[in-house]
Structure 1
């Protein structure tokens, strides 16, 4: 079963069509007095089909296939200098890549600009960018709403320039990736959940709305633990556009991330186990001087058991709780000290990166 807050999901690294319609003729038929019961559904269907085809024509040229020594994934052309944004787990430990554009079968050479596994994002750059690159346009994450139609574009199972369709199923999901298989095990907040099929190889591709705007990067699909990790159909997740553009701009400009946009307490912690060796909180093992926790009076040895209304029974659950919040948010932290439960109001800071 999938938990509503933190979703355990699996991304596979090696492996994570258009015809023209006529909306004008359909509209003319309705205007000429054709039966609305027979013509309206056809007109609406053709208009929606035309909308899909326009989005595909607008955005698919911006979606590329990325090949590494260990497998393949997808990416999105970010600018006309040859910068391409993708998932960190697509890049893995590689520093050189083959990139195949949507309108070509010849792989172009690319090198790593920088990777930020904490948000599962990376940027690579074409060595010799060709003329006519089509950078994608990114949308406003704040305007993504439940029920919006989405198209997922990428190279699932190596089938380049593939498109699947669905809707925005939920927003604001906090998703924890498992470690291994190339996945950095990142916990990512504010993800877009979609019913558009996301399969291995789609990772790093574009999740697009009907305005031809990229609203997310296809990152992973949910799996069902009760079926030995088999895919859970219709439950996929994409990193939101606001995170993509913020992180990507920093990686291109500085080669690193200096403002993660992620909330932090300013502590180092580990999972606390009770007398029965069951996880029961997160023990603070270091406090950054002058940081949020320090300012609120938290100390080494305190065991955090709740962030706001969210229970904390491990380091992972603490990370997940913080990933759903933003810097500057004031939260009540419940903790134990010397066997006594206490609370502290903490104004969250920004996660510092190495």
Structure 2
């Protein structure tokens, strides 16, 4: 089988395509024929060594993907050959990600892909959607799970609505009944955010974000999905409602923060840091189930018409796919591993 590996951290050029034997399936595992592999910024940070050094002699990149069950372990009863599935955290503390034709993975990391969802949708869930789900459910004021109606009556501010996590947060918040306000940096991204389902879109380069948000939500927003806390914290404190929550899901290297303690304190603001890999097991399972329910309802579609353009690469051009993510390609970068 074909697989992409790297044996040392570095730029996209460290990725190489090799031939490997198709792996056997131990108990508690299934083998998945990968159809589509998703590339996330976290995959590039791992490959570059920014987030961690090499844990194995060689590493197959990419956490997310979708495909078919190809074989099951002798003790596995819940899966049968041919079932369509999506995968999460496949390469976390494990040498095998989804940039290969066949992947053997513990059954916990395998989720049935609803019949109405494409492999493109399945490969776009994982890191972004599970992260977005936690940003909307970490607040002590609830809800601790999402479903239609769970956020009715609340307003959510999503910073960076044209990114993969922002896109998923818009879709999930809209599905759960929230009013969604989002910020973007261009008219093109504004259209994508509207396509994703945002009710109100603010171009932060040309508009007064605080004034617009205050006009739209005079009593404040209950939740803020935050992509750049250091840049936005003063704004966030201004527009958040008392007992609101700010959920931070990414970082800028070397970033430090001067905290406007008084504003946060007097409003009883909760700040959560959301790192999907180390999410508590019960919370991760709840996120997987909730995201899959939204997928089954048709709420997590991808493509330009749904706010997340797709850039496609074949497996042998995985290095180019990683480079595309690193240069900030708008939308989702996917790798076609098998014909489907």
The structure that has the greater radius of gyration is 1
TM-score after normalising by structure 2:
0.24
Higher strand share: 1
TM-score after normalising by structure 1:
0.23
